[in-house]
Structure 1
Amino acid sequence: MRYSTTHKEQTRQKLVESSGAIAKQGGFSATGVAGLMKAIGLTGGAFYNHFPSKDDLFTEVVRHELSNSQIGLCTRHGALSREKLERCLDQYLNMAHLRNPEHGCAIPALGAEVARAAQPVREEAEHWLRALQEVWSQTLDDPQLAWALLCQCVGALVVARMLAHETSQEEVLQASRGFLAKALHPAP
């Protein structure tokens, strides 16, 4: 039985979304093709009807996740004010985001894997990170500060997730929010 083009595209999208959640939770390279397909109720052999390789799927996961990331979505609609940026950063650096990597930003969850990935995966990540940095640069009128804030947010989440105790995790997030407040509102 042949499926419609629409069905194939829906299955492909479901595979990308499911793979993104699985990757952010436990790592992309740690899960085989059979496990990724099983998550959407299909056999491993059907994978190649949608992607030529697992690297091609990872490229698409990175595109999907970074274009829809929590930290990136706040930059999508219209001009980004400093106030809106600050609210976005506060939402990013909270315990709910820390506890739910599968629903959160892919940058801290997949950054190390992207760094070791094939060139197309890294190029896709660079495209979206540069787009985010450019929007923040316009808001802040400072390209270096935009990169520094982006790195601060991602790094704080990575470090906080590494810690075993919730009080330590909250301490890291709170320290990062304080640092960001000082960076965004320097004393005269």
Structure 2
Amino acid sequence: MRYSVGHKQETRERLLQSSATQAKNNGFSTVGVDALMKAIGLSGGAFYTHFTSKDELFGSIVERELSQSLERLGGEGRQNQAKLRRCLKQYLSVAHLQQPGAGCALPALGAEIARGSVEVRQEAQDWICRLHQAWAQTLGSESLAWSILSQCVGALVVARMLVSPSIQQQVLASSHEQIIGQLEGLPED
């Protein structure tokens, strides 16, 4: 039985969504092709009608997830400092901490991206630099934009490594407080 092009695209999108969530929750390298396909109700052999390799899937996940992160973090279009502050508060929240599968791919997959192919790292760099440029324009400082971006991702990584919810909350709250302190002296938009 032949499936329509639309069906194939829908299946590919379901595979990307499911695989991205699994990767952000459990790590990409920990899950095999068969398990990724089983999660969407298909056999492992069907995988190769959508991707030539698991590495190609990972590249597609990185592109998809970082484009969504860019959109959520206000990296597209003009934004003001008030909107950026709201984004930072949400980013450094307990909800984001506890739901890696629904959040930004950088803290969840950063180490795997760093070990990925040059193509995957280039894709990540392109999206990260777009976010950085948007924040730099809003903040009026390239170095401050890099600093805040790094602090946000690092704070989530550190908080997720910890067991104690109260210490996790301290990490997030302290990071948010320090970042807001850096923004206090900036001229308003």
TM-score (structure 2 length as normaliser): 0.95
One-letter amino acid of the counterpart of residue 22, structure 1: Q
Q: Residue 186 of structure 1: CA displacement?
A: 3.2
Aligned twin of 2:160:
161
Shift in CA distance, 66/57, structure 1 to aligned 2, threshold 3 Å: same
> How many aligned residue pairs are there?
187
Q: Take 1:180 and 1:72, find their aligned partners in 2: how far apart are those partners?
A: 21
Task: State the Cα deviation string for residues 70-111 of structure 1 (Å, max 9, x = none).
Answer: x64231553110110011000000101100111111100000
Aligned twin of 1:143:
142
One-letter amino acid of the counterpart of residue 94, structure 2: M
Aligned twin of 2:9:
9
Aligned twin of 1:111:
110
Q: Take 2:108 and 2:87, find their aligned partners in 1: how far apart are those partners?
A: 18
Task: State the Cα deviation string for residues 35-86 of structure 1 (Å, max 9, x = none).
Answer: 11011100000000000010100000001111112x6423155311011001
Aligned twin of 1:18:
18
Aligned twin of 2:46:
46
* 2:75/2:135 contact within 8 Å kept: no
Task: State the Cα deviation string for residues 114-169 of structure 1 (Å, max 9, x = none).
Answer: 00011111111111100100100100111111011000000000001111100000
Q: Spell out structure 1 runs of 4+ moving beyond 2 A.
A: none
Q: Take 2:31 and 2:76, find their aligned partners in 1: how far apart are those partners?
A: 35
One-letter amino acid of the counterpart of residue 154, structure 1: V
Aligned twin of 2:123:
124
Q: Take 2:22 and 2:10, find their aligned partners in 1: how far apart are those partners?
A: 18
Aligned twin of 2:79:
80
Aligned twin of 2:177:
178
Aligned twin of 1:94:
93
One-letter amino acid of the counterpart of residue 18, structure 2: S
Question: What secondary structure does 1:68 align onto?
Answer: helix
